[in-house]
C-alpha cells in the first residue's frame, strides 16, 4: 500500500519532469492523425485533433497538481485561522462562525463550487476561487472543535495564567496539537479537490481549451468513446491511479502522525 502510493506519486513526478525534458508539445495539432490507437509515436494514441494524448495527460497532471496544491494551501490556512480563533475565543464570534459554516454545509458535495464557478465564469483563476470559497469550511469546523477541546487543557491554562497573550497561546500551545489532524484531513481532501477540479472542467466550468486538463479531456473522450475507447480509458486510468495514490498516502500520513481519534477535552 505504502510503496504503491509512493511509487505512483514518484512515477507521475518523473513523468512530468521527463515530459518537460523531452519537450512534449501537448497542443500540437495533426489533423492527419486524429483519434489514432496507441502506437510507437503516440504511446496513448491521439485525440480528436490529432494531439498526443500522453503529452496532454502529462500537462493535465501538472495543472491538476497546481490547482490542488494552491486550493489546499489556501483553504487550510484560512480555515485553520478562522477555526482556531473561533474555537479559542468562543462567544459571539464562534456562534456566528458556526452559523456560517452550517449554511455552507447545507450545500451537498460540489454543488456550491459548481454554482460559484458558473456565475464567476470559466477559467483557471475562477476555478481556484470557487474551490477556495467552498473548501475552507471543513478545516474551520475541524480546527474549531479541536481548539475548543484544547483550550481547557492544563498546559494551556498554565500558559494563560503566566500571562501569555492569546496569540502566543494559540500559536505555540494549541496550534502544534491540532496541526497533525488537519494535515491528515488536508491529505485526504487533496484527492477530492482533484476530483472537483476535474468535475468542473468536465462540465466546461474549469480550464478552457486549448489547455489540457483531465476533466476537459474526459469530456472530449466521452464524445468519441465509440470510435476511440482508448482515449477515455487511458485518461481515466491515469486519473484513478493518482487519486488512489493520494488516498493511500493519506492513510500512511495518518498512521505516521498517529491520529486515531480526535483530541479529548
Partner 1 sequence: MIKRFATLLPVVFGVLCLTFALLHLIPGDPVDVMLGESASVTDRLALKAQLGLDQPLAVQFGQYLLHVLQGDFGSSIHTQTPISQLLWQAYPATLLLAVVALAIGLAIGIPLGIWSALKAGHWQDVMITMLSIRLAAMPAFWLGPVLMLVFAVWLGWLPVSGMTSPLTIVLPALTLGLGLSAILTRMTRTSLLEVLSEDYIRTARAKGLSERQVLLKHALRAALLPLVTIVGLQMGSLLAGAVITETIFSWNGIGRLLVDSIEKRDYPVTQACVLVVALSYVLINQATDLVYRWLDPRTRGTQ
Which residues make up the interface to partner 1 (CB under 8 A)? 99-100, 102-104, 106-112, 114-116, 118-121, 191, 195, 198-199, 202-205, 215, 218-219, 221-222, 225-226, 229, 232-233, 235-236, 239-240, 243-244, 247-248
> For residue 46, what are the β-bridge partners?
52
The residue (of 136 and 202) whose beta carbon lies closer to partner 1 is 202
The residue (of 24 and 100) whose beta carbon lies closer to partner 1 is 100
The residue (of 113 and 169) whose beta carbon lies closer to partner 1 is 113
Smallest separation, CB 131 to partner 1 (Å): 15
Smallest separation, CB 232 to partner 1 (Å): 5
Longest dimension (CA), the chain: 77
| Cα–Cα distance for residue pair 45/50, rounded to 1 Å | 9
Smallest separation, CB 122 to partner 1 (Å): 10
Could you give the 3-state DSSP secondary structure of residue 130?
A: helix
Q: What number of other Cβ atoms are within 10 A of residue 181's Cβ?
A: 19
Q: How many CA atoms lie within 13 A of 73 on its CB side?
A: 7
Smallest separation, CB 226 to partner 1 (Å): 6
The residue (of 52 and 220) whose beta carbon lies closer to partner 1 is 220
Q: What number of other Cβ atoms are within 10 A of residue 34's Cβ?
A: 16
Smallest separation, CB 245 to partner 1 (Å): 9
**Total residues found in the chain within this entry:** 265
Q: What number of other Cβ atoms are within 10 A of residue 106's Cβ?
A: 9
Amino acid at each position: 500500500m505504502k510503496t504503491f502510493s509512493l511509487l505512483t506519486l514518484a512515477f507521475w513526478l518523473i513523468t512530468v519532469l521527463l515530459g518537460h525534458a523531452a519537450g512534449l508539445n501537448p497542443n500540437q495539432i495533426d489533423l492527419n492523425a486524429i483519434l489514432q490507437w496507441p502506437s510507437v509515436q503516440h504511446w496513448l494514441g491521439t485525440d480528436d485533433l490529432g494531439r498526443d494524448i500522453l503529452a496532454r495527460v502529462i500537462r493535465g497532471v501538472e495543472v491538476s497538481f497546481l490547482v490542488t496544491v494552491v486550493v489546499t494551501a489556501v483553504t487550510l490556512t484560512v480555515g485553520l485561522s478562522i477555526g482556531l480563533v473561533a474555537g479559542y475565543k468562543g462567544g459571539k464570534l464562534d456562534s456566528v462562525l458556526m452559523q456560517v459554516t452550517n449554511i455552507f454545509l447545507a450545500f451537498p458535495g460540489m454543488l456550491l463550487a459548481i454554482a460559484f464557478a458558473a456565475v464567476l465564469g470559466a477559467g483557471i483563476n475562477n476555478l481556484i476561487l470557487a474551490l477556495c470559497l467552498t473548501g475552507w469550511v471543513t478545516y474551520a469546523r475541524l480546527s474549531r472543535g479541536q481548539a475548543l477541546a484544547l483550550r481547557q487543557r492544563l498546559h494551556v491554562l498554565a500558559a494563560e495564567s503566566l500571562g501569555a497573550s492569546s496569540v502566543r497561546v494559540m500559536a505555540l500551545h494549541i496550534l502544534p496539537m491540532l496541526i497533525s489532524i488537519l494535515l491528515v484531513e488536508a491529505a485526504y481532501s487533496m484527492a477530492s479537490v482533484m476530483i472537483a477540479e476535474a468535475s468542473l472542467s468536465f462540465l466546461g466550468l474549469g480550464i478552457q481549451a486549448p489547455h489540457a486538463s483531465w476533466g476537459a479531456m474526459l469530456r472530449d473522450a466521452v464524445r468519441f468513446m465509440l470510435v476511440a475507447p482508448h482515449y477515455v480509458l487511458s485518461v481515466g486510468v491515469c486519473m484513478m491511479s493518482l487519486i488512489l495514490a493520494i488516498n493511500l498516502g493519506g492513510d500512511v500520513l495518518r498512521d505516521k502522525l498517529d491520529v486515531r481519534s480526535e483530541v479529548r477535552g
